[in-house]
């Protein structure tokens, strides 16, 4: 779980409340919320098939609770499996399957132990990666649509407020407060876009890249283990996925 999302969101809210002079009251207006939050959700609901829209809680969870994989530990584990498979044969890995946390790696090793055809192993694992990517793309696209629709509904709400206000100027002293209320929807829309959905869309894109990297390392490793490659060669191959700093953490002293 990455604390950045929560710390960042709290920071924004604390600073905005501080900027409001701790007067939160004037910024709460139920009809304005109805227009902006409801309108935006309605538009996204229109834009996606129901079955896709229903994945929203899954997407939100992904944004908040997302632990990036420890790629160094992953590579060390793959190297250990590679050495064991070379010494004791592929079937010896069966006893390790239980101890693997990563569902994707577990599936890969299971396939290898089951003696599945290497081509089929790669196909199965790669098509799974393609689906993870597609699911992330759905989430990212939805967040981006939320981020572009929220300010639009904010502006729509302000237009509604202005039209009602201007059409009824009997009491000039009410002009200011009415205008304030009209502007609240624009503020809601801007807040939703810039403090929720845009950061969420960027985060999903970043997480996606990291998760796909991890899964590609696993595929390379599993295929290499099945082929009986020299663990030394596998190490060089997998280290090419790492930044220089991360490489130092990999077991086995380097030669160069």
CA distances from 210 to 45, 61, 133, 234 (A): 29, 17, 11, 20
In the chain, DSSP finds a helix count (H) and a strand count (E) of 13, 0
Q: Binding pattern to a second copy, positions 19-38, x when CB under 8 A?
A: xxx-x--xx---xx-xx--x
Looking at residues 198 to 227 of the shown chain, list those that interact with a second copy (rule: CB under 8 A). Answer: 198-200, 202-203, 206-207, 210
Q: Whole-angstrom Cα distance, residue 175 to residue 161? A: 11
Instruction: Tell whether residue 57 is a contact of a second copy (CB under 8 A).
Output: no
Instruction: Tell whether residue 52 is a contact of a second copy (CB under 8 A).
Output: yes
Instruction: Tell whether residue 153 is a contact of a second copy (CB under 8 A).
Output: yes
Whose tokens are 């999302």? That residue is 5
Instruction: Tell whether residue 129 is a contact of a second copy (CB under 8 A).
Output: no
Instruction: Tell whether residue 12 is a contact of a second copy (CB under 8 A).
Output: yes
Q: Which of 193, 223, 225, 250 binds a second copy (CB under 8 A)?
A: 193
Instruction: Tell whether residue 106 is a contact of a second copy (CB under 8 A).
Output: no
Nearer to a second copy, 87 or 160 (CB): 160
Nearer to a second copy, 32 or 226 (CB): 32
Q: Give SS3 for 71.
A: helix
Nearer to a second copy, 87 or 97 (CB): 97
Q: Which of 102, 160, 212, 216 binds a second copy (CB under 8 A)?
A: 160
CA distances from 106 to 73, 103, 112, 159, 248 (A): 15, 5, 10, 55, 26
Query: Least CB distance from residue 3 to a second copy, whole Å?
Result: 6
Q: Provide the 8-state DSSP code for 35.
A: I
Q: Are 64 and 199 in contact (CB under 8 A)?
A: no
Nearer to a second copy, 80 or 163 (CB): 163
Q: Which two tokens stand for residue 87?
A: 């010494």
Looking at residues 163 to 192 of the shown chain, list those that interact with a second copy (rule: CB under 8 A). Answer: 163-169, 173, 176-177, 179-180, 183-187, 190-191
Q: Is 89 left (phi over 0), alpha (psi -120 to 50) or beta?
A: left
């Amino acid at each position: 779980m990455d604390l950045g999302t929560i710390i960042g969101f709290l920071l924004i809210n604390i600073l905005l409340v501080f900027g409001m002079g701790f007067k939160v009251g004037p910024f709460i207006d139920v009809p304005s919320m109805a227009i902006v939050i409801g309108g935006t959700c309605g538009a996204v609901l229109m834009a996606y098939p129901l079955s896709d829209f229903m994945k929203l809680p899954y997407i939100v969870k992904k944004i908040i609770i997302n632990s990036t994989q420890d790629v160094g530990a992953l590579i060390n584990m793959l190297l250990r499996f590679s050495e064991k498979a070379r010494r004791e044969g592929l079937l010896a890995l069966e006893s390790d399957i239980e101890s693997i946390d990563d569902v994707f790696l577990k599936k890969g090793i299971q396939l290898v132990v089951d003696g599945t055809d290497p081509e089929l192993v790669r196909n199965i694992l790669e098509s799974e990666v393609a689906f993870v990517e597609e699911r992330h793309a759905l989430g990212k696209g939805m967040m981006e649509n939320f981020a572009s629709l929220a300010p639009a509904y904010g502006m729509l709400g302000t237009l509604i407020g202005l039209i009602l206000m201007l059409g009824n100027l009997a009491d000039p002293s009410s002009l200011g407060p009415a205008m304030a209320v009209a502007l609240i929807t624009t503020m809601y829309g801007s807040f939703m876009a810039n403090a929720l959905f845009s950061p969420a869309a960027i985060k999903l894109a970043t997480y996606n890249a990291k998760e796909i990297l991890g899964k590609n390392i696993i595929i390379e490793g599993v295929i290499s283990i099945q082929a009986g490659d020299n663990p030394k060669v596998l190490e060089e191959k997998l280290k090419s996925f790492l930044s220089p700093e991360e490489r130092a953490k990999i077991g086995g002293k380097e030669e160069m």
